[in-house]
Amino acid sequence: MKIDRSFLRSKVARRIFILFILCALIPIAALTLLSYTQVSQQLKKQCMGRLYNSAKSHGMSIYERLLFLETNLNLIGSTTFKDTNRLSILNPEKILGDHETKRFTALALIKKTGEINQLYGELKDFSMELLNKSIKIDNEKTTIIFQDNHNLPSTVYMVIKLDHNSLKSDRLLGQVETSYLWGIGYKNMLPPMTDLCLVDQFRKVLVSSFPVSDALLHRVMMKNDENQTSFFQYNVGDQGFYVSSWPLFIKSGFNGPNLSVVLRRSEADVMSPIADFKKIFPLVVLLSIWIVLLLSIFHIRKSLVPLEKLKQGTKRVAQNDFKSRVTVKSNDEFEDLADSFNLMSQQLGRHFEALTTRSEIDRAILSSLSVKKIVNTALKRIYQFFSCDSISVSLVIDKKPSTYHSYILTDIRVRKTQEQFFNITSEDEQILTKNSKYLLVDLKEGRPGYLAQTATENMKSFLVLPLFLNSILKGSIALGFKNDTNFSQDDLNHARQIADQVTVALSNSSLVEELEKLNLGTLEALARTVDAKSTWTAGHSERVTSLSVKIAKILGLDQKQIDTLQRGAFLHDIGKIGTPLTILDKPGRLTDEEYEIIKEHPVIGARILEPIEAYADVLPIVLQHHEQYNGKGYPHGLAGEDIALSARILAVADVYDAVVSDRPYRHGWIEEKAVKMITQEAGTHFDPKVVDAFLAAIS
């Protein structure tokens, strides 16, 4: 018969195969020296140890299942019972498990009043008296109740509070599936040929797979009380058994009695391997495997060390460390795999760096539409990504198409970039337009005009990325390198994508800037329209706006608050559209009726602006700019901090401009008199903090 040796083509496979062949034959001779006595003693000792460990393991498994049941019950309580007055329950199979994984056989809600509402299944003889006895010790812990129903196993209940913040709360009751909890029944979790018994601290048997005598219970409890090693032998008739127990301290995490897990195994089962001692071959195989492992550990490690290095390398890649490399010198497939891994890591690193660079530019777009901020972000991220020696972003000046504004970065540690202006020729523009994706420039062949600002003596080559908007050249990005650089196609694609993203960002910034200028110009025009109603108020809104912005800056308001104040100041007197000109231009003192009409203009102004959702933050300024700090202003008599800060600022600027300007009924005050009046009114008419800032603004 011809043996298939194809699997030996691998060097690793051949090395391990030869190692196993050589080592597997060595233990055969040694196994014949085993003696019957040694084996029997070892079997007995191992049985005792395994039985004790099994009792401990089974006890811990029961405790873990109790914790899982508690978690499951808490999950039901927190997700299912949102309103304890109107209960709704999910699919029982999803909550309680199916037939194979059933955890609760019944659920009930125990109301604060003691009323028991059954939700699922049918409770077995449960009463409030049984619950009240069980929760006396600790009303906060989950309660475990074992009810003796004169048949084994005992019924097990679990009770949790639905509201831990309340002394009295509804409780959720679950009747536990005992076969799942104890690990016996349709899915036996006991070691083979092992019997189980569970006893509580009051010597009450909760479940047992064998008849339990009082003598056995007495010995188990005595061992637990004396803190002795809990395993021993005992006889039932002419049959011997090995017994081990382990205490399960339920009270450490639940409100319930402590338990003892008791396992037993017959002596005949323990010693059965002796009868099969002559069939020693399985033991020979087992021992041979262990000896093979001991003798071949060096060679196995020789194969596993490269694997471990690759494993650590994958962990570093998972932690976004793409620069570290795996070094393997094994002259086999592991070395080839390490080389492939390093290549993959390098490519992934470049892709993630490109994504990070684009993400930084995205954040710059979202956080600010400032051209300088977008350019600075692009400069730093592209500088780091390509490891270049210099980078510049040059943008066309709209009113001078042949003039470029260049931002230059030659050192990442320098916070402030260089800014220069230069002109380029139509020939240079044609070259950039023709090479719309990218242009590789070798300075040995000459220095183009569009690189004059960054092409220093140390630079050897440049990668130029033209920026286009609607097929019109709007600028370029130039990356300078002092050493010869070879770009992969992936690098060039990344560079082009980043350049396109910068173009979009700058376009958005320019568009928003134009819209902002249009908006502000509209407000100025509207303010002039209002002021033009009377020759006496011409320019009033613009002067008040300018002074208000100065005061706001001194008070440390952020740019968003200043912009809102600026809009509100332009529009603060828009309500005077509804005021008759005869009142506005009246040369004498106003009557009470005329003054009441004047006092309506803040409300009229707010009503005019109210339909414009974008001016919602301006309404308090327009409505409250005639309120006084002492509460004696109009229209609502607000006082102190109840008046918006922007309105308090505007009030000072408005009054100051009004008193220093000529009016039909008086001449304008001199500046010293106006300042004195405002200073005297600090704390009554005006906010003292705003007055201090006003004095600083006009000084």
pLDDT of residue 67: 92
Residue 645 has pLDDT above 70, yes or no: yes
Kind of pairing between the strands at 231-236 and 400-409 = unpaired
pLDDT of residue 304: 62
Contact 167, 96 (CB under 8 A): no
295-299, 315-319, 566-570, 620-624: range with lowest mean pLDDT: 295-299
Residue 235 has pLDDT above 90, yes or no: no
Residue 689 has pLDDT above 90, yes or no: yes
pLDDT of residue 522: 59
| 122: nearest Cα among 69, 65, 174 | 174
Cα 263 to Cα 35: distance, rounded to the nearest angstrom: 29
Residue 392 has pLDDT above 90, yes or no: no
Tally of CB atoms within 10 A around 186:
10
Cα 23 to Cα 255: distance, rounded to the nearest angstrom: 57
Structure-model confidence comparison of residues 628 and 93, the more confident one: 628
pLDDT band at 137 (very low <50, low <70, confident <90, very high): very low
CA distances from 638 to 116, 318, 574, 627 (A): 57, 59, 21, 6
Average pLDDT rounded to a whole number, residues 282-293 = 69
Mean pLDDT comparison of 22-26, 187-191, 393-397, 502-506, highest-scoring range: 393-397
SS3 418: strand
Q: What is the residue extent of each domain of the chain?
A: 45-274, 310-352, 368-511, 532-698
Residue 524 has pLDDT above 70, yes or no: no
pLDDT of residue 377: 76
| 76: nearest Cα among 99, 51, 104, 52 | 104
pLDDT of residue 579: 61
CATH number assigned to the domain covering 368-511? 3.30.450.40
CA distances from 575 to 289, 564, 599 (A): 97, 18, 10
Cα 590 to Cα 338: distance, rounded to the nearest angstrom: 93
Contact 556, 562 (CB under 8 A): no
pLDDT of residue 7: 47
pLDDT of residue 229: 56
Average pLDDT rounded to a whole number, residues 306-317 = 76
Tally of CB atoms within 10 A around 108:
20
Residue 296 has pLDDT above 70, yes or no: no
pLDDT of residue 503: 75
Reported as type and span, the H/E element at residue 461 is strand 461-469
Residue 76 has pLDDT above 60, yes or no: yes
Cα 75 to Cα 95: distance, rounded to the nearest angstrom: 9
CA distances from 550 to 381, 545, 562, 653 (A): 36, 9, 9, 10
Average pLDDT rounded to a whole number, residues 24-38 = 63
Average pLDDT rounded to a whole number, residues 638-663 = 83
E strands along 358-457, which residues? 390-397, 400-409, 418-423, 439-442
Residue type, 560: K
CB burial class (10 A; 0-12, 13-18, 19+) of residue 137?
A: exposed
pLDDT of residue 534: 45
Question: Which tokens in the block code for residue 13?
Answer: 């496979």
Residue 527 has pLDDT above 70, yes or no: no
Structure-model confidence comparison of residues 297 and 199, the more confident one: 199
| 497: nearest Cα among 347, 352, 354 | 354
The CA-CA-CA angle for residues 58, 60, 65, to 5°, reads 95
Average pLDDT rounded to a whole number, residues 168-187 = 81
pLDDT of residue 479: 83
325-352: string of b/e by CB count within 10 Å (b at 16+)?
A: ebebebebebeebbeebbeebeeebbee
pLDDT above 90 as % of the chain: 2
Global pTM value: 0.38
The CA-CA-CA angle for residues 182, 185, 190, to 5°, reads 60
Residue 91 has pLDDT above 50, yes or no: yes
Average pLDDT rounded to a whole number, residues 124-140 = 69
Kind of pairing between the strands at 390-397 and 259-266 = unpaired
- Mean of the per-residue pLDDT values of the chain: 76
The 10s digit of each residue's pLDDT in 579-610 is 666 565 566 666 777 767 777 778 877 787 77
Average pLDDT rounded to a whole number, residues 521-526 = 59
Compute CA 318 distance to the chain's CA centroid, rounded to the nearest angstrom: 17
Q: Could you give phi then psi for residue 157, rounded to 5 degrees? A: -120, 150
Residues 6+ apart with CB under 8 A from 681: 691
pLDDT of residue 3: 45
pLDDT of residue 85: 46
pLDDT band at 36 (very low <50, low <70, confident <90, very high): low
Reported as type and span, the H/E element at residue 239 is strand 239-248
Order across the sheet with 195-200: list the strands. Answer: 205-208, 195-200, 259-266, 239-248, 231-236
Cα 229 to Cα 85: distance, rounded to the nearest angstrom: 52
Average pLDDT rounded to a whole number, residues 341-368 = 68
Residue 631 has pLDDT above 80, yes or no: yes
pLDDT of residue 397: 80
Q: Domain 532-698, what fold? A: Hypothetical protein af1432 (1.10.3210)
Average pLDDT rounded to a whole number, residues 341-369 = 68
The 10s digit of each residue's pLDDT in 409-457 is 877 777 677 888 888 878 878 888 888 788 888 877 777 777 766 656 6
pLDDT of residue 88: 47
